[in-house]
Amino acid sequence: MNIKTTLQQAACLRRSSTTVAAALLICAGSLYGASVWAADTTSDKAAAPAAGSPAAGSPRILVLATGGTIAGTTDPRSAIGYNSGNVKGQELVRAVPGIEKLASINSEQISNVGSQDMNDEIWLRLAHRIQEAFDRNEADGIVITHGTDTMEETAFFLQNVVRSDKPVVLVGSMRPDGSTSADGPNNLYEAVEVAASPKSRGRGVMVVMNDQIHAPRWITKTNTTAVQTFASPNAGVIGYVDPASIRFVAPVLASTRDAFSLPTNGRLPRVEIVYAHSNMDGVQIDHAIADGAKGIVLAGEGDGDASREALDALDRAAKKGIVVVRSTRVMSGFVNRNVEVEDDKRGFVVSLDLNPQKARLLTQLLIANGITNPGKVQQAFSGTF
């Protein structure tokens, strides 16, 4: 069954007295996965029946497609097998019943990859296009279709580089088109709903998945395959959404910092994540030093700790001017300064609430903007709340 057939059936269910939940069970769809690069950035106005066209003055939403499970199709290699990034963004939009009533929608293809293949080139392309669209007043909000594997990283990156109070909403799915309970169409509908809402103004970048709205700093993927995979362990969701309403439960927080400048050479500095474990030596850290890393993030045990040998290796890195950040492999909690590790003496930075992958991103942006002094780096980690 293809995506159009699936969603036509869901549309019929919505028109009947059958519950919305039943309709969504049939029509949902999405994923995170692997595919090939597709540098197609042609604009395509999402077609809709004249009867369902948005009224004049409706919000203008630009959908930027990057691939992922939401753009994937099932594969017979296993009961849950699929291929990421097989469906273009304009097809995704056209296949969602009623989405054309929410806003005037245009779609562009930025890439078509599984999010495990997300890279600096795509990130910078995405950031430049978002900023361009806002600066030229081409859109009132932006929706990014994305795989779930690295969605939290892309969201956090964009939160730190986009200069606008207009909303940017990332959305994906855990199940592809053709699966028995695809979640992509409903997620995409709700993402456009959030991006088009006046309530979203000033909230910056958000992630919409499974009827929930999350902030980039807090969100993380917690399950490999479950639809309810995203959570914000240290803060909770910032809102809820369904096809009829949007309810924010957190206030709009005014930012006290400027967005970071993007690197002019097209690449972010090399920052490695080293995973701590029992019986750990310093070999991985010494290799990172030898490989030219500008920063090292420790995915530490507990409160960002590691073996004596590993900490000694991090000392060697810090003495060479490499930015050293202690994070944790634990799901929730803060990494605190100077508890078991003498951070002041060693010249280390702690990630506070940021997990290793987000700590890496912030370290990359800081180094790219010429900020490498441990004190100033620590101040930046504290100032991204």
| Active-site amino acid positions | 69, 148
| Residue 251 DSSP SS3 | coil
Number of H helices, E strands in the chain: 11, 17
Please name which of 374, 377, 371 lies closest in space to residue 354, comparing C-alpha atoms.
377
Q: What is the DSSP string of 346-375?
A: HT-EE-BT--HHHHHHHHHHHHHTT---HH
Task: Measure the CA angle with vertex 205, ends 170 and 335; round to 5°.
Answer: 105
107 phi, psi to nearest 5 deg: -135, 145
106 phi, psi to nearest 5 deg: -115, 150
Output the six-digit token pair for 88. Answer: 């273009």
Torsion over CA: 133, 135, 139, 140 (sign): positive
Amino acid, res. 346: R
d(CA 158, CA 365): 11
Torsion over CA: 193, 196, 198, 203 (sign): positive
